[in-house]
């Protein structure tokens, strides 16, 4: 069973609940679990709509502290209270846009555990790092610095240069990285691939050894595309 996660980023309004309704109506897909991570404003509404269904709801970020004088921030406990089961931490857009370092990501992942959420910890190299042959060294450092202690965990490999660009690594490149990550996380940890996953490349990417699912950005905003990606998981209907 693979985990197909939709990261809506800064998209969506209350009316977008119709997209979650469409996913619920479509019914379960045998080889895939679906998780939608909308902006924080929509978590409670979406969780209410997806309650008792095969669709899970997660969030995109959390603060490390459970409460306090942190204007604009949202605690993992608040996301759990709103109905989230997972939270993405360390996405490259947070690492670069908000200066999040490995220790910050580690603290956020630990906060997710404290709140009973499963963290989805993102790692990935830039194009310059890949071209310099530093991919595995960078990923090793990010994993060592970001991963929390024991607890349910999802890791997402998202090459920064593949996000929103239409470019993806080759299956062989994905296999190399996912094998490297799988050797450094507890057995059974899903390792998702993210970066320009589309209906037309999902089957090849999801079939790579040690790929446990996908973290989907743009294509997750269209239920038809998101469902097509989930249906490409090995073990799903053809
Ligand atoms: P795209 O699927 O739009 O490339 O985004 C990937 C991503 O960043 C998911 O977290």
- Whether 222 maps to a domain, the answer reads yes
Owner of token pair 């709103």? 82
- Whether 156 maps to a domain, the answer reads yes
Whether residue 238 is predicted with pLDDT greater than 60 in this model: the reply is no
Average pLDDT, the chain: 97
Q: Can you tell me whether residue 162 is helix, strand or coil?
A: helix
Query: What are the tens digits of pLDDT across the range 85-133?
Result: 999 999 999 999 999 999 999 999 999 999 999 999 999 999 999 999 9
* Nearest atom within ligand 1 for CA of residue 164: 4
Owner of token pair 């349910």? 152
What is d(CA 148, CA 113) in angstroms, rounded to the nearest whole number?
Answer: 9
- Whether 9 maps to a domain, the answer reads yes
- Whether 238 maps to a domain, the answer reads no
CB atoms within 10 A of CB 18: 10
Q: What is the number of structural domains in the chain?
A: 1
- Whether 198 maps to a domain, the answer reads yes
Owner of token pair 């996912």? 178
What is d(CA 191, CA 187) in angstroms, rounded to the nearest whole number?
Answer: 10
Q: What angle do CA 150, 5, 47 make, to 5 degrees?
A: 90
pLDDT band at 236 (very low <50, low <70, confident <90, very high): confident
- Whether 236 maps to a domain, the answer reads no
Query: What are the tens digits of pLDDT across the range 5-61?
Result: 999 999 999 999 999 999 999 999 999 999 999 999 999 999 999 999 999 999 999
- Whether 182 maps to a domain, the answer reads yes
Q: What is the CATH number of the domain that holds 104?
A: 3.20.20.70
Half-sphere exposure of 185 (CA within 13 A, CB side): 32
Residue 79 belongs to domain spanning:
2-231
Percentage of the chain surpassing pLDDT 90? 97
**What lines the ligand 1 site, CB under 6 Å?**
7, 91, 158, 163-164, 194-197, 215-219
* Nearest atom within ligand 1 for CA of residue 166: 4
- Whether 43 maps to a domain, the answer reads yes
Name the residue of 60, 199, 217, 221 to mutate for ligand 1: max ligand atoms within 8 A of Cβ: 217
Owner of token pair 């019914």? 27
pTM higher than 0.85: yes
What is d(CA 1, CA 34) in angstroms, rounded to the nearest whole number?
Answer: 10
Half-sphere exposure of 132 (CA within 13 A, CB side): 10
Q: What is the H or E stretch that residue 79 is in?
A: helix 76-82
Q: What is the H or E stretch that residue 56 is in?
A: strand 55-59
**Closest Cα to atom 7 of ligand 1:** 217
CB atoms within 10 A of CB 72: 5
Catalogue the active-site residues: 91, 158
């Amino acid at each position: 069973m693979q985990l197909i996660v939709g990261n809506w980023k800064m998209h969506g309004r209350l009316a977008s609940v119709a997209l979650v309704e469409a996913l619920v109506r479509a019914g379960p897909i045998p080889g895939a679990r679906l998780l939608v991570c909308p902006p924080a404003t929509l978590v409670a509404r979406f969780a209410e709509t997806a309650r008792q269904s095969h669709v899970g709801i997660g969030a995109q970020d959390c603060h490390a502290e459970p409460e306090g004088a942190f204007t604009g921030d949202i605690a993992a406990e608040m996301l759990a209270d709103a109905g989230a089961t997972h939270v993405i931490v360390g996405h490259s857009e947070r690492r670069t846009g908000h200066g999040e370092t490995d220790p910050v990501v580690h603290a956020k992942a630990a906060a997710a555990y404290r709140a009973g959420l499963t963290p989805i910890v993102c790692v990935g190299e830039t194009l310059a790092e890949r071209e310099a042959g530093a991919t595995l060294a960078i990923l090793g450092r990010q994993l060592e610095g970001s991963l929390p202690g024991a607890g349910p965990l999802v890791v997402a490999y998202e090459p920064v240069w593949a996000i929103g660009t239409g470019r993806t690594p080759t299956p062989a490149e994905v296999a190399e990285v996912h094998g490297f990550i799988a050797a450094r996380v507890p057995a059974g940890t899903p390792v998702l691939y993210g970066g320009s996953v589309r209906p037309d490349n999902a089957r090849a990417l999801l079939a790579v050894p040690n790929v446990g699912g996908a973290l989907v950005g743009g294509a997750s905003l269209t239920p038809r595309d998101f469902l097509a990606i989930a249906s490409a998981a090995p073990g799903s209907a053809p």
